[in-house]
Copies of this chain bind each other. A is one copy, B any other.
Amino acid sequence: MKTINLVGYGNVGFHLAKALMKSNLFVLQRIYTRSEHSVDPDFPHLFIHDIHKLPVADITIISVTDKAIEELSTQLPFENQLVVHTSGTFSMDGLSSKNRKGVFYPLQTFSKAKDLTFSQIPLCLETEYKDDYSLLESLAKALSENVYAISSEQRQNLHVTAVFVCNFVNHLFTIGKEISDENDIPFDIFYPLIDETVSKIHSLEPRKAQTGPAIREDYATINKHLLKISNDNYKNIYKLLTNSIIQNGKKF
């Protein structure tokens, strides 16, 4: 079996470890975390807190905040191994040159409190050396059905899009929940609407799926809504997105 090290145990590392535990081809050898508080009670024996004690592995996966990737890659106590990071934005080049570089970017939103089906996650791979690609690909294919070769340039564009279609979408859900809480409306009344909004774009181009007062240029409704929104920030978001929908509607 091939061995894997994990450096960092945030939302991505947590789900990656759970997925690796189920693999028959790869074994999770050690997990490095800075703090002893991050130890997972499911497999505490795997955790170490001194990076200089990390043993050699076939693949070391650095899954930490972007600004810590370079320094941690420099501190690894071995050379000429395959070392990859999981960031959507950080360049592959930013890894220390003492090891062979690569990227293992899962295009998904991870929260420790939410289980997910790892096998459906698109895994976006890149390696410095062609020979390492097949090793990284064998790991990816052991964990997921959706594996892609993606350059650093493409990955950064993927990440920008992911922010729009995931992080910003979730923030709109947060705003929606806040408004409905203020008005004693149970938020689950919106679940069929939200589910259908997403179901639609699987079969219809989003541009063609657009409904609501903005695309109809129904200014009477738009103005009534603006009077209802008390939070200035949310009012500005309403205005900006409404104008953007109206402008987009005129493009076609």
Contact = CB atoms under 8 A, between A and B. Distances in A.
Contacts of A171: 206, 210, 214, 241, 244-245, 248
The quantity of this chain's copies bound in the complex is 2
A211 to B, nearest CB: 5
B205 A177 contact: yes
Contact of A67 (B108, B146, B161, B220): B220
Residues of A in contact with B, size category? 35 or more
Interface stretch (A21-29, A53-61, A116-124): A116-124
Chain A interface main SS type: helix
B89 A225 contact: yes
Interface in A132-185: 146, 148, 154, 156-177, 179-180, 182-183, 185
B238 A240 contact: no
B113 A157 contact: no
B197 A113 contact: no
Contact of A177 (B110, B191, B207, B212): B207
Given A11-B211, A221-B89, A198 B189 contact: no
B206 A156 contact: no
Nearest to A113: B204
Contacts of A201: 170, 173, 194
Interface string A1-35: 00000000001000000000000000000000000
